Amino acid sequence: MLLALLAAQVVVVDAAGGGAFTDLPPAVAAAAPGDVLLVKSGSYSGFTLDRAITITADDGAIAVVDSATSLTQIDGRAVLHGLRFDAPLTVASSTGTIWLEDLDVEPIDFGAAALTVRSSPSVTLTGSRLKGGRGFTFLITTIPPGAGLDAVDSAIDAHDSEITGGKGYGALDGASGMPGSAGGAGARLDDSVAIAGGVRIEGGTGGGGVSTTKPCGRPGPGGPGVEFLGTASVVHLVDSAILGGPGGTDSTSFGFCSGATAPPGPETVGSGTVNVLLATGHLALAATSPVREGAAVVLDLEGPALMPAFVGIGFDATNLFLPALKGSVLIAPPYLVFAAGTLDAAGTLQVSIPTPSLPPALQAQEVFGQAGYAQPSGQIVLGEPAAVVILDGAF
């Protein structure tokens, strides 16, 4: 592990020309395992990633990926942090740990799932927002809305995130009277397992009605919170909610229609299992990243009031589901566990940790943390993870 860290390089990607590359595809193609791509504000093309590297937006940067991106056949650890995707994101056939943090994924592509996961057993999603692409209709063409998360034969550990289906396509009125479509599923799971801590999974809003002429095109119902395909899928919940999407509404701007609202979607459809590990009490963790050596990493914790919290810190990630601890261990040993302090009456705690100077041969150091707490009964509850990239001051 140490040799890999010493060999890692930081590569600046800047659409404005201030780095080694101006776009992500050539930077990804040139990167070696363990490298860190530091992305400045700008618009970037989608890419295919097949190796264990980290791609992080710089602190305060708004880095937007505007075309489809795929992470495939990765057998090490790959990290995406702080990026916005206006196009679909896919993880496929990856046996390593895929870490997705502080992402905002909402494809402009009609009907696209925000995050598609295929045959990947260790995907961590934290502090992120996923929303499926909206539906579309024109003449005889209809495209149903996409899911927020679409997983087949995979395992996803999600924390402090919003996962929402796309909005249904609108109704057509006049002679056809075609109703609007249902909203997309918040999550579609096929022989997959999802662990959700502090997560809201909600179906998309149904398509709206149209009232320019009679007969009116009626609105569509909300989408399901979770759509189960097959029979082997399970969702384990810790202080999380599964909600059907809101129904679409009639337009009343021309006065022809009733202004009715379609029914909301169901919480779940299909044959799967929802298992509540803990009804309330998820502990959220957010950390500043990236930071330059010598600066402080600020940890913000939020959870049950007056609970003593701890944070584990290590140099690698894993994914080991432990129902007895109400979640998964997401940092790999060896790791250090320290007492962070007691959450206040509002359930918040902030901790500032100074970072050391990096050795001369080391351009970046990645650190993985995870929060947790002990209930008065002695029950340990594992909380949200967070990754921090510490950069050499030259960057």
pLDDT digits (tens, 9 = 90+) for 85-101: 999 999 999 999 999 99
C-alpha–C-alpha distance, residues 103 and 88, integer Å? 12
What is the structure's pLDDT at 214?
A: 53
Percent with pLDDT over 90 in the chain: 83
Number of H helices, E strands in the chain: 2, 38
Q: What is the mean pLDDT of the chain?
A: 92
Cα of first residue to Cα of last residue in the chain, in angstroms, is: 23
Q: Is this structure's pTM higher than 0.75?
A: yes
Neighbours of 354 (CB within 10 A): 10
Tell me the three state secondary structure of residue 325: helix
Q: Give the pLDDT score at 213.
A: 53
Q: Which of 202, 204, 203, 206 shows the shortest CA–CA distance to 221?
A: 206
> Which numeric CATH code is attached to 284-391?
2.60.40.2550
pLDDT tens-digit readout, 215-229: 566 788 999 999 999
Contact 141, 110 (CB under 8 A): no
Give me the residue spans of the domains in the chain: 1-105, 107-276, 284-391
Taking residues 118-139, report their average pLDDT: 94
- 218 touches 247 (CB < 8 A): no
252 pLDDT band, cuts 50/70/90, is low
Cα distances from 151 to residues 69, 89, 331, 344, in angstroms, run: 16, 12, 23, 38
In tens, the pLDDT along 296-326 reads 999 999 999 999 999 999 999 999 999 999 9
- Greatest mean pLDDT among 197-211, 242-256, 318-332 lies in 318-332
The answer to whether the CB of 209 falls within 8 A of the CB of 168 is no
Strand extents, DSSP E, 119-208:
123-126, 129-131, 136-138, 141-143, 149-152, 155-159, 162-164, 187-190, 193-197, 200-202
Handedness of CA 17, 19, 24, 29 (dihedral sign): positive
Amino acid, res. 366: E
Query: With contact defined as beta carbons under 8 Å apart, do 351 and 262 qualify?
Result: no
Segment 140-152 mean pLDDT = 92
What is the per-residue pLDDT for 34? Answer: 94
